[in-house]
Amino acid sequence: MKNPFRKSQMQQLEATIASFAKRLEQLTIKRAIAKNALDTATVTRQKALLSGDLEDQRALDKVQAAVDTGSSALAGIDDALAALIRQKAEAERQLAAERDHIMRAAAAGKLAEQVGAIEAALPAYLEHSRVLSNALSEIAHSHVESSQMAGYVQNTSGQIEVAANFALAELKAMPDAIRHGRLPIPGEPVALRADATTETEPTTTVFMLRSAHHRDGDGRKRFAGQWEDAVMLVATAQRALDRGIAVPLTDPRRVRLRGMRGGDFDPKAADVVDLDAGDDLVGAATGAPAIGAANFAVTDCRAEAHSIQIEVSRT
Domain boundaries, the chain: 7-200, 203-293
Rounded Cα–Cα distance for residues 161 and 2 (Å): 45
Q: Are 213 and 35 in contact (CB under 8 A)?
A: no
| Strands 229-233 and 221-224, bridge-based pairing | unpaired
**Start-to-end CA span in the chain (Å):** 122
Residues 45-75: tens digit of each pLDDT = 999 999 999 999 999 999 999 999 999 999 9
Q: Which of 215-229, 243-257, 292-306 has the lowest mean pLDDT?
A: 292-306
- pTM comes to 0.51
Rg (CA), the chain: 37
Rounded Cα–Cα distance for residues 241 and 258 (Å): 17
Residues 5-37: tens digit of each pLDDT = 445 888 899 999 999 999 999 999 999 999 999
Q: b vs e for 195-232, b when ≥16 Cβ sit within 10 Å of the residue's Cβ?
A: eeeeeebbbbebbbbbbbbbeeeeeeebebbbbbebeb
Q: What is the pLDDT of residue 48?
A: 93
Q: Are 224 and 266 in contact (CB under 8 A)?
A: no
Determine the distance from the C-alpha atom of residue 292 to the mean position of all C-alpha atoms in its chain, rounded to a whole number.
37
Q: Does the pLDDT at position 308 exceed 80? A: no
